[in-house]
Chain A
Amino acid sequence: MTSLHNNNKIKLGLVIDLDICVGCHACAVNCKEWNSGGHSAPLIDLNTSGENPDGVWFNRVHTFEILDEESDHGYTLNFPRSCLHCDDAPCVTVCPTGASYKREEDGIVLVNPDTCIGCKLCSWACPYGAREYDQVEKVMKKCTLCVDKIYNPNLPEESRVPACVSACPTGARSFGDLGDPNSEVSKLVDERNGVDLMPEQETKPVNKYLLPKTRTGNARNAPRMNNFNNGENKKLNILERFVDRILS
């Protein structure tokens, strides 16, 4: 059923800390590795060593440069983008076949590859580009929150987290129940004022992002290496200026 039930108490999702993400793409690569053999397998790759390689990925890491013109402060932002498992998922309600659904028990948004007709409408409805079309299997693919890993009793308990979370070397990704206000992830979101992406799209994302902390200093005006090629550098003392003049 593609109607949303809106009463799931458990909302499994991710909290992504943009302050400590270093943009290493390990989450994206491990996601690809796990899901190439998992619930939505295979995750196709086409023309891998040719001129125009293509393929389906559930997680893509964009890197932005951010400039605050007001304070003349700039920084680099690494931004992993994946399905946010929205409470009001527009990709689910547009699906004409019921292949796209949100699980009542934990809120994970999934695609049934046996009833998907490959109309691509869900990829248009998702504001975040979380869904990618598999041109070999001719169905839509998306992040499963590693549904075949997080509940897998064959794995040690600490491994029962999505592949992207296992792989992150800086601990920028946390996984848990965002429907429970007392869970570790919910506390983290409260503490750091976690945000929704494109809140104006009214999709009510479950995944939250933690923004970079405000820097105390200003990186643009931070002390830099003295430039001794410039003889007029005011920072030189009398002796240094004298030596500089003799040598130049």
Chain B
Amino acid sequence: MHPAKSIILFTTISGMGYGLMISLLIFQIYVGHTLSFISYFLITFVSMILFSGGLLSSTLHLGHPERAHFALTQWRSSWLSREGVFAILLYPVISIYTLLFYLNPNNISLDPIAIVTIFIAIATIYSTGKIYGSLRAIYSWNTTLTTFNYLALGGLTGLMLFQTLLLLLGYNVTNIYYFLIILIILSSIGKILFWVRLDLNNTTTSKSTALGLKSQLQVNLLESPHDASNFLLKEMGYTIARKHSKKLRKLSLLFAFILPLVIIFLSIALNFYHITILAFLFMIMGVFIERWLFFAEAKHSVMNYY
């Protein structure tokens, strides 16, 4: 599949934004409201910038962005529509939470609202994963591992950013490191399983089934219907990544998981927590490579005709 920059940016940036919001609100519930309102507001603001920027970037890649509101109507059947509905729903809920927190940090109704917000944020990332995970035509994506990866990486990058922001704001919560380590391990296992499944290529769709023929026949394309490229080949016939996929996978594992893990251990061991920021920067690079590969490595069933 063609790796469109707008979708790569949207899925990584907005996933991180939702992850940051989830991390912040779990922190608020778990630790009590120890953050100053200004710190809370700054983190919420960063989170909203991230997922709103992501949403905007994905809207701009549409042919008709001015009709985007139609996309909220088909939530009964379409995961893309559901994603839009959840994404929009998050704004009023987080606004109410922020207002109540500003008025009275000890308000007893804060925690239930936080839980609702967390659920909506998780549902949004889940829907994003499902948009891809539910496409049977793309073997690489058609697995629950896709949704798992979107949730895990959204949570991980969000928590990583949360820890970075806390450090920058002068808070040092070392307990977060343990959750980061657990999330890094879970995410990397999920991603490795995703690639193992991809390499097994256990799909029943083949050139033979595409033509309705018996499977023992050897099928070769003799003449293409067109001698120039077309929409299908440009959108779904992307092959450059597959050539370098093994190297890029290693790079992505190194930057997204291994280097951040090493840096986290170092920062705990050396009591020098500010190098965590470096871990965050490496992780972002790794996740961008991961997301680029997610698209570029995916093979669409229509390519059986080409």
Contacts and interface: CB of A to CB of B under 8 A. Distances in A.
Interface of A: 1-4, 23, 25, 28, 52-57, 60-70, 76-77, 79, 81, 90, 92-99, 115-121, 123-129, 132-133, 135, 137-139, 195-202, 209, 211
B70 A60 contact: no
Contact of A96 (B1, B84, B221, B235): B84
Contacts of B232: 123, 129, 132
A99 B70 CA distance: 9
B95 interface: no
Contacts, number: 191
Given A62-B221, A127-B300, A199-B209, 20 more contacts: A1-B76, A28-B225, A60-B226, A64-B207, A65-B219, A66-B217, A67-B218, A94-B134, A96-B70, A96-B74, A97-B70, A117-B68, A118-B62, A119-B80, A124-B1, A127-B205, A128-B301, A198-B205, A200-B209, A201-B137
Interface of B: 1, 61-65, 67-68, 70-74, 76-81, 84, 131, 134-138, 204-205, 207, 209-213, 216-226, 228-232, 235-236, 300-302, 305-306
B262 to A, nearest CB: 37
B222 A63 contact: yes
Given A67-B217, A94-B79, A120 B222 contact: no
A125 B216 CA distance: 27
B212 A209 contact: yes
26 contacts: A2-B76, A3-B76, A4-B77, A56-B231, A64-B211, A67-B217, A81-B305, A94-B78, A94-B135, A95-B77, A96-B70, A96-B74, A96-B84, A97-B74, A115-B67, A121-B80, A124-B235, A124-B236, A125-B135, A126-B137, A126-B302, A127-B300, A127-B302, A128-B302, A129-B302, A133-B231
Contacts of A53: 228
A95 B63 contact: no
B235 to A, nearest CB: 6
A118 B235 CA distance: 13
Nearest to A77: B211
Nearest to B84: A96
B10 to A, nearest CB: 12
B70 A98 contact: yes
A83 to B, nearest CB: 12
B205 A117 contact: no
A202 B142 CA distance: 14
Contacts of A126: 137, 302
Contact of B70 (A25, A117, A198): A117
Contact of B212 (A96, A98, A124, A195): A195
Contacts of B77: 2-4, 92-95
A90 B301 CA distance: 13
A97 B205 contact: no
A95 B62 CA distance: 13
A1 B81 CA distance: 12
Give the top 6 A-B pairs by smallest Cβ distance, nearest first: A118-B63, A138-B63, A129-B302, A60-B225, A97-B70, A195-B212
A202 B62 contact: no
Nearest to B204: A200
A138 B62 CA distance: 8
A90 B72 CA distance: 18
B259 to A, nearest CB: 33
A74 to B, nearest CB: 9
Which residue, A68, A129, A137, has most C-beta atoms of chain B within 10 A? A129
